[in-house]
């Protein structure tokens, strides 16, 4: 059932929005009052939605062409001068092509650079494996000092952008191409290092983040109607992780499922396992991409093929609930 305290911030309606679009809107709004914000892109501003900012503030928008490493280094330089650089490109390029610059130029000196990468996960769809970031959380999570956030809907994305502006230090925000249903209303509060319990249950805990959250919400509700009472946690702050919330729920249910549009190695599932293994050994079933590359297809086709659609998630949970 819906956790009592969650009732006030859950959205009621059928609106859908891509998190990349919410990012473009919010950074454009913040640019009006915060003159230190600058935005950088690599010939993808119409896809990352930074074109919104570029149109309003052309003097604070910088297009680096197909040169992601150069963009990260330039962002580091601007951060040393008091600017707040928002750096955007596709997740595969931000996490892999520019990894050295992110690590050495941004993270090592702890500079105030905000990397907001779009087109993450297999929900990218038809673009295929080369453009589907399924290792980005693992890479960014392993770099010291970087905050890693995977917002679950448009509302949370806007709240998360506000939070990373206020946070002093490097951040990685994982955004998606495809639109997804809104989960939260404007009463929702996002905090770095905190998760959100959405549904309260007894049999097992489901921990998710990003695009899979709305799918899990529907799946858990349907399983509840079958008599399988599950707790649902939105863990959009992957690093730092809300250990207190996780441990409290795991201590009650004794079984945890993690669901993510990412390789099960190094992502949210790994973060959950690391925390539980040290503090409260608990059985964890990781639902995600099982150490393979993505492929081309519609988001719905790919989610079904990789076991991330609603029916597959429900089937996995049923098979592991005693």
Active site residues: 68
DSSP string, 182-243: --B-TT----TT--EEEE--SSEEEEE-TTHHHHHHHHHHHHHHTT--EEEEE--EEES--H
CA 284, distance to chain mean position in Å, is 20
Exposed, middle or buried by CB within 10 Å (0-12, 13-18, 19+), for 29?
middle
Instruction: Answer yes or no: are the C-beta atoms of 237 and 191 closer than 8 Å.
Output: yes
Q: How far is CA 317 from the centre of its chain?
A: 23
Neighbours of 94 (CB within 10 A): 29
- Give the containing element (helix H, strand E) for 164: helix 154-166
CA dist 75 and 115 (Å) reads 10
Instruction: Please report which helix (H) or strand (E) contains residue 171, including its range.
Output: strand 171-174
| CA–CA dist 9, 60 (Å, integer) | 34
Burial of 137 by CB count in 10 Å (0-12 exposed, 13-18 middle, 19+ buried)?
buried
């Amino acid at each position: 059932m819906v956790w009592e305290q969650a009732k006030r911030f859950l959205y009621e309606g059928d609106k859908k929005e891509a998190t990349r679009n919410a990012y473009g809107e919010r950074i454009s709004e913040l640019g009006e009052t915060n003159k230190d914000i600058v935005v950088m892109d690599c010939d993808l501003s119409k896809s990352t939605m930074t074109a919104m900012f570029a149109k309003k503030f052309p003097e604070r928008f910088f297009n680096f062409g197909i040169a992601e490493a150069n963009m990260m280094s330039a962002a580091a330089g601007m951060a040393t001068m008091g600017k707040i650089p928002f750096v955007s490109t596709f997740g595969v390029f931000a996490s892999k092509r520019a990894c050295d610059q992110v690590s050495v130029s941004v993270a090592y000196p702890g500079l105030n650079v905000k990397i907001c990468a779009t087109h993450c996960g297999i929900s990218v769809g038809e673009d295929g494996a080369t453009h589907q970031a399924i290792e980005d959380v693992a890479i960014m999570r392993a770099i010291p000092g970087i905050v890693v956030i995977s917002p679950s809907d448009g509302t949370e994305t806007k709240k998360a952008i506000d939070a990373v502006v206020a946070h002093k230090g490097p951040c990685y925000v994982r955004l998606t191409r495809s639109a997804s249903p809104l989960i939260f209303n404007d009463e929702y509060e996002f905090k770095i290092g905190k998760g959100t319990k959405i549904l309260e249950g007894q049999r097992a805990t489901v921990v998710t983040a990003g695009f899979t959250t709305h799918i899990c919400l529907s799946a858990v509700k349907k399983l509840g109607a079958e008599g399988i009472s599950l707790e649902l946690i939105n863990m959009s702050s992957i690093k730092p992780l809300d250990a207190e919330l996780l441990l409290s729920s795991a201590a009650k249910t004794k079984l945890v499922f993690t669901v993510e549009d990412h390789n099960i190695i190094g992502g949210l599932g790994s973060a959950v396992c690391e925390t539980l293994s040290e503090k409260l050994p608990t059985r964890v079933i990781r639902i995600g991409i099982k150490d393979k590359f993505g492929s081309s297809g519609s988001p719905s086709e790919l989610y079904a093929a990789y076991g991330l659609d609603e029916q597959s998630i429900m089937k996995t949970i049923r098979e592991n609930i005693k």
